[in-house]
């Protein structure tokens, strides 16, 4: 199976929802929410990609980093790659429905585990979608992380309990989903969270609680002070608020604020191994990838999904060789020029 074959099949299966552009930059699909696009003008989606390109890599070849180790430890699990599957749902209304929600979720959860990484599953305006993710994680012996929309406290706690019962490695809340159109269309109320509400949720479970949707250093500090140990720097793929900064713009200040106290993940516009390398150099411990892996799952099933994970990891390894990084721990901002 070749990537172009996967992309062509995805174009057919996602017609009307995703054009599978040669560069997935949000220009052709701006405003298409539901769908695969970004909110409004699409500028937040586009800013994510542009922000990674603002950083250049320093080419180095006088060293002995000829076989780098791409493994990382996240949530006490050793992963073969610092690339995790981001939580995205809505096969029917975001991706066209050619692959069912159940099959898509099974592909990403099983495919991630088989590759040596971990998938996050999501929540939706259709409450059964969260159940599908939890069931897939339970079928994989708990090797997955369900992410819950910022619903009311009791609704979140109910879903946390489901994650616990499934044996999940962790559970999360994507607070950047507070204004999602798709939730409003289904009459599923969501909203922002206070520090006190976060403390209540952290205290409600023994599972590590991940908070996704942090875009400022002060909110990173608030989250950590509330007991959150893992945050995701994310603007929800540019799908909730127009004209935000790209995640690479804010990652360094967030890492400077809480990098010694929390695990930092980042998503948004990561399209190649060099983007992963830049994210790690800017202070992330690992990255989440969404749209490219969705396309691979729709176009090539589990085989295509794992092929793209392998390509991204191979690109990362090559970039590590050419910047003199023998392991993920060796990666620092010294390899970057802006």
- The catalytic residue positions are 236
Q: What angle do CA 233, 234, 238 make, to 5 degrees?
A: 160
Kindly tell me the burial class for residue 22, based on how many C-beta atoms sit within 10 Å of its own C-beta (0-12, 13-18, 19 or more): exposed
Rounding to the nearest 10 degrees, give the CA dihedral for residues 84, 90, 94, 95. 70
Give the side-chain half-sphere CA count within 13 A for 74: 33
8 Å CB contact between 182 and 124:
yes
8 Å CB contact between 159 and 146:
yes
Q: What are phi and psi of 240, to 5 degrees?
A: -120, -30
Kindly tell me the burial class for residue 108, based on how many C-beta atoms sit within 10 Å of its own C-beta (0-12, 13-18, 19 or more): buried
**Other Cβ atoms within 10 Å of 3 Cβ, number:** 15
8 Å CB contact between 288 and 233:
no
Query: What is the secondary structure of 145-172 as a DSSP string?
Result: EEEE-S--HHHHHHHHHHHHHTT-S-EE
The tokens for 131 are 């159940």
8 Å CB contact between 37 and 30:
yes
d(CA 312, CA 67): 16
Residue whose C-alpha is closest to residue 15's, from 299, 303, 300, 291: 299
Name residue, tokens 């993940």.
Answer: 265
């Amino acid at each position: 199976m070749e990537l172009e074959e996967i992309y062509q099949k995805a174009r057919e299966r996602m017609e009307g929802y995703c054009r599978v552009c040669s560069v997935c930059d949000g220009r052709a699909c701006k405003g298409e929410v539901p769908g695969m696009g970004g909110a409004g003008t699409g500028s937040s989606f586009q800013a994510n990609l542009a922000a990674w390109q603002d950083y250049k890599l320093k080419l180095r070849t006088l060293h002995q980093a000829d076989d780098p180790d791409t493994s990382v430890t996240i949530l006490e699990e050793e992963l073969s790659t610092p690339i995790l599957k981001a939580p995205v749902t809505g096969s029917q209304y975001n991706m066209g429905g050619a692959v069912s929600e159940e099959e898509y979720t099974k592909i990403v959860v099983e495919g991630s585990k088989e590759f040596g990484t971990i998938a996050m599953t999501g929540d939706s305006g259709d409450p059964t979608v969260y159940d599908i993710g939890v069931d897939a994680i339970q079928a994989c012996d708990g090797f997955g992380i369900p992410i819950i929309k910022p619903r009311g406290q009791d609704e979140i706690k109910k879903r946390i309990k489901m994650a616990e019962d499934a044996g999940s490695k962790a559970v999360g809340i994507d607070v950047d989903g507070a204004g999602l159109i798709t939730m409003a269309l289904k009459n599923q109320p969501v909203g922002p969270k206070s520090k006190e509400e976060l403390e209540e949720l952290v205290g409600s479970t023994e599972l590590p609680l991940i908070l996704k949707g942090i875009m400022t250093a002060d909110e990173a500090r608030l989250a950590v002070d509330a007991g959150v140990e893992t945050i995701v720097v994310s603007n929800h793929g540019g799908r909730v608020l127009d004209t935000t900064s790209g995640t690479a713009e804010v990652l360094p200040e967030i890492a400077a604020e809480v990098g010694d106290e929390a695990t930092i993940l980042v998503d948004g516009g990561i399209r190649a191994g060099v983007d992963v390398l830049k994210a790690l150099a800017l202070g992330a411990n690992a990255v989440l990838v969404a749209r490219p892996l969705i396309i691979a799952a729709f176009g090539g099933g589990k085989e295509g999904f794992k092929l793209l994970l392998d390509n991204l990891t191979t690109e990362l390894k090559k970039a590590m060789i050419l910047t003199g990084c023998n392991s993920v721990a060796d990666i620092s901002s010294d390899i970057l020029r802006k």
